Structure formats: C-alpha cells, structure tokens
C-alpha cells in the first residue's frame, strides 16, 4: 500500500491510497466466491451460476462493495501511520475503476487543524474597567431585598391601581373580529408597571379599579413567537377582579434578622461585599475577553469550516432557545453575525490550545481539587459530594477543560499590557 499526503489548503489534507493489484484481485475473488454461493439466476441452480454471468448481472454491485471494504480496511491505518488528526469524517472521492486488472487507488479529503508555527504575543494591550461600589449602590441593593420580602394587602379604602400594585385580571383576545380563547386567561395576577404583559395592556392597567373592564388595542411584533399573531393588531378586553398593594418591611434590625443577618449594619456590610465581589468578577471577565480578542486579532489563523459549522449549530440553538424561536431559521443578517462569532470562537479555541501546549500547561489533581473546593464554597454543596459527582468521565472532562481554560487565560493576561479606567456611575455591578 502506497500513501501520498498533500495539503490542499491550510486546513485540508488529501490522502491518496494506492493498493496493489494482488490485494484488489484477492478481494474481488472472495466477493465473487461468496456471491456465487447465494446468487440465483433463472436457468441455473443456486451456486452454479457461471462467473461471467455474475459479473454481467452483479459486477457494479460487487465492485462498489469491495471498494467500500478496501477503504474501510486501509483508510484508518493510513491516517494513523501518517500522524494525521482529522477533525471531521474523511470524504472519499476520485475512485478509480476497480477491475482487479491493475493497481487501484482512492483519495480521501479531510479537515485538520491549521499548522501554527508561532504565536504573536507582542504589543497586546487591553483596557481594564473598574466598577466602584458606592453607598447608593448598597442602598439600591437593600431596597431590592425589601421588595423581595414585601407582603400584599388590599388597600383601604379601595382605590384605582397604580404602579407596583398587584392586580388580578381576566384577559380576552379578539383578532380580526374573532375571539381567540386559546390566548385568553382568567384570574392572572400581574404587577402593574412590571412589563410582564403587552405594553398597551400594562399601560392600561394603571388607573383601573376593581370591577372595571376596558378594551385595549394591542399590536403584536413581526417576531412574535405565535406566528398567527405576528404583525397583527388585535383587541384585548382587560377586566380587573382584585387589587393588592405592596407593603415593604421596615428598614431595621428586625428586617435584617428576617433575611439572615444579625443587624442592619451587618446587612449593609455584607451587601457591599457582594457588590464588590460581583464588580471584580465582571471586571475580570471583561479583561479576559478583551485579552482573548486582542490575541485572536494578532494571530489571524484559518479555521476549518466544520469547526465553524459546529459552533454555528450551538449558537443557533442558544439563540432560538433564548428568544423562543421555532427551528433554526434565522434572518440572513443575523445568521451572518453568528457565523462571524462562531469563527472567532473556534479561532480563539485553537490559539489558546496552542498557547497551552507551548507552555506545557496541564491540569493536575491538585488543580481539580482546588476547583471542587471553590465550587463547594460557592454552591454550599459538600466537597465530598462534588467529588463523587465528578467521577463521571464526561463531567470530569468538562471540569478539566474548565480549569485548563482558566489557567491559559491567566497566562495570557500576563502577556498583555493593561491600562485601567473607572466606569461611569451609571454602570455599577449588580449583586447576585
């Protein structure tokens, strides 16, 4: 067997495999012998069909089967012996006629990772954004905690609904003069002004009283998930059947104890620490992303199409899931944007893998244990339970990849020049 390897492009290799006449003839002979035992042609007993007739009736089928068998027997070995690591299923083509009268060859095309001869780490610069936490951020966080622990009560005397109230509503939709009960609902609690309903309905609720009904004209966007409503104007009959107002807890030590703190002072202190931690994590994440972006821009390597398509599939699914879209059909302009994102992701992955290889970055058991302990502290789970969960190979591999990525990104950050800026006051990090 003779194998000739040639690079068709930076990410595609052609493998030509030539097999000697003897091997081809032996394979054809075996195939015809097996066929001769089973073949039945009118006028001949089973197993007694002459070879010329077998070739006449079944020659094409036998040649195809033998060719496929020879490819299966030789291709994986040719790939292995030539130290090729394909990233997609090889595509076999350009088959010669398989007659057994001479040498027979085939060609297999496969995508491979690009050869990265060197990494450019010179002149990489990023800007790290700092997010200071001020007193007003802490007070907003405290107010949010009060909102979370609010109770509801019926106002006395009863009044019209206002922003922040919770009203119980019946909704009946009519589209083009036809009532659509499948899109109607009864007894639904809704917070006024929380934008949980269509904008026109949400705005109409403010000022309505218990027992009042109102017809509201609503417009459905072209991108609405219900296709028979998308782009249409309809009428929504809104009826308020109950109203409750929100009562916030008093801001004192008792409230702090209700949310698990010893005092209001401790609540403020802990919330500030949470906000500062979130702000640092945001700054760290943005810095890593900026470093990767600069690294990728400085190393414009080609990316195999199959890797791009693989990433595109994941992005399509994520987008469809996030926006409740049906299927994977996306607008052409959005599809083009996702393709750019997919290519950048795959290029970053290839470059970071090479950076790890060149710097002998590996993940040790100590690294994994440290990560499991960090996860235990963050989730409240016992570290021993996490160790049992991550004995599963798939989950362990995922953990290894996660730790390796963190180590490579930490190394990359040491290779870039960092300048700092403080975010505008309108960009505070939010507590988790």
Cβ neighbors of 311 (< 8 A, separation 6 or more) are 341, 342, 343, 345, 346
pLDDT given at position 272: 97
pLDDT given at position 12: 95
Q: Of 187, 222, 247, which one is at a domain's C-terminal end?
A: 247
Q: Same domain, yes or no, for 342 and 230? A: no
pLDDT band at residue 325 under the 50/70/90 scheme: low
Q: Same domain, yes or no, for 327 and 362? A: yes
pLDDT given at position 324: 55
Q: Is pLDDT at 224 greater than 90 in this prediction?
A: no
**138-159: b (≥16 Cβ within 10 Å) or e:** beebbeebeeeeeeeeeeeeee
Region of residue 207 (phi > 0: left; psi between -120 and 50: alpha; otherwise: beta): left
Distance CA 97, CA 106 (A): 10
Q: Same domain, yes or no, for 415 and 270? A: yes
Q: Same domain, yes or no, for 238 and 337? A: no
Q: Same domain, yes or no, for 242 and 267? A: no
pLDDT given at position 375: 93
Q: Can you state the percent helix, strand and coil of the chain, rounding each to 5? A: 45, 20, 35
**Tens-digit pLDDT profile for residues 165-192:** 999 999 999 998 899 999 899 999 999 9
User: Is this model's pTM higher than 0.75 or not?
Assistant: no
**More confident position, 341 or 95:** 341
The distance from CA 338 to its chain's CA centroid, rounded to whole angstroms, is: 12
> 97 near 51, Cβ under 8 Å?
no
Q: Does residue 24 fall inside a structural domain?
A: yes
Distance CA 248, CA 245 (A): 10
Quote the tokens at residue 376: 């235990």
Q: Of 247, 273, 292, which one is at a domain's C-terminal end?
A: 247
- Count of the separate structural domains present in the chain: 3
Q: Is pLDDT at 267 greater than 70 in this prediction?
A: yes
Distance CA 88, CA 110 (A): 6
Across residues 59-72, what is the average pLDDT? 87
> 153 near 244, Cβ under 8 Å?
yes
Q: Which secondary structure element, helix H or strand E, spans residue 322, and what is its range?
A: helix 305-322
**In which domain, by residue range, is 80 found?**
2-111
Q: Same domain, yes or no, for 267 and 239? A: no
pLDDT band at residue 430 under the 50/70/90 scheme: very low
The CATH number covering residue 361 comes to 1.10.3120.10
The CATH number covering residue 18 comes to 3.30.70.1050
Determine how β-strand 151-153 pairs with β-strand 104-111. unpaired
Long-range CB contact pairs, 327-330, < 8 A, 24+: none
Cβ of 169: how many Cβ atoms within 10 Å? 23
Among the ranges given (139-153, 211-225, 287-301, 347-361), the one the predictor scored with the smallest mean pLDDT: 211-225
Q: Does residue 256 fall inside a structural domain?
A: no
Q: Same domain, yes or no, for 335 and 209? A: no
Q: Same domain, yes or no, for 209 and 243? A: yes
Per the prediction, the chain carries an average pLDDT of 89
Q: Same domain, yes or no, for 325 and 201? A: no
pLDDT given at position 353: 93
């Amino acid at each position: 067997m003779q194998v000739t390897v040639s690079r068709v492009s930076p990410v595609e290799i052609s493998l030509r495999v030539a097999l000697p006449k003897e091997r081809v003839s032996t394979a054809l002979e075996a195939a015809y012998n097996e066929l001769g035992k089973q073949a039945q042609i009118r006028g001949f007993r089973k197993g007694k069909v002459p070879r010329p007739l077998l070739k006449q009736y079944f020659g094409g089928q036998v040649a195809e089967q033998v060719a496929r068998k020879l490819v299966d027997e030789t291709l994986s070995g040719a790939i292995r012996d030539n130290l090729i690591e394909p990233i997609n299923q090889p595509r076999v083509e350009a088959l010669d006629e398989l007659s057994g009268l001479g040498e027979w060859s085939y060609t297999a095309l496969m995508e491979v990772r690009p050869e990265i001869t060197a990494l450019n780490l010179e002149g990489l610069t990023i800007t790290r954004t700092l997010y200071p936490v001020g007193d007003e951020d802490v007070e907003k966080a405290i107010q949010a905690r009060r909102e979370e622990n609010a109770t509801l009560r019926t106002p006395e005397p009863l009044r019209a609904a206002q922003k922040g109230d919770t009203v119980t509503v019946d909704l009946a939709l009519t589209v083009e003069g036809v009532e659509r009960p499948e899109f109607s609902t009864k007894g639904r609690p809704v917070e006024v002004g929380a934008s949980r309903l269509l904008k026109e309905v949400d705005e109409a609720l403010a000022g309505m009283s218990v027992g009042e009904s109102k017809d509201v004209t609503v417009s459905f966007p072209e991108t609405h998930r219900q296709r028979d409503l998308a782009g249409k104007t309809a009428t929504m009959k809104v009826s308020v059947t109950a109203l409750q107002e929100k009562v916030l807890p008093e801001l004192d030590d008792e409230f702090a104890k209700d949310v698990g703190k010893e005092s209001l002072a401790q609540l403020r202190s802990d919330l500030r620490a949470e906000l500062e931690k979130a702000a640092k994590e945001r700054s760290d994440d943005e810095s890593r992303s900026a470093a990767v972006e600069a690294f990728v821009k400085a190393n414009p390597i080609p990316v195999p199409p199959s890797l791009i398509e693989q990433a595109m599939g994941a992005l399509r699914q994520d987008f469809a899931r996030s926006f409740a879209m049906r299927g994977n059909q996306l607008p052409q302009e959005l599809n083009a944007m996702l393709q750019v994102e997919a290519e950048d992701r795959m290029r970053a992955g290839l470059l970071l893998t090479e950076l790890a290889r060149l710097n002998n970055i590996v993940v040790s058991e100590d690294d994994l244990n440290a990560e499991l302990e960090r996860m235990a502290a963050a989730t409240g789970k016992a570290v021993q339970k996490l160790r049992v969960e991550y004995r599963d190979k798939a989950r362990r591999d995922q953990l290894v990849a996660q730790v390796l990525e963190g180590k490579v990104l930490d190394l990359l950050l040491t290779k870039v020049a960092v300048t700092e800026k403080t975010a505008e006051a309108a960009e505070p990090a939010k507590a988790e």
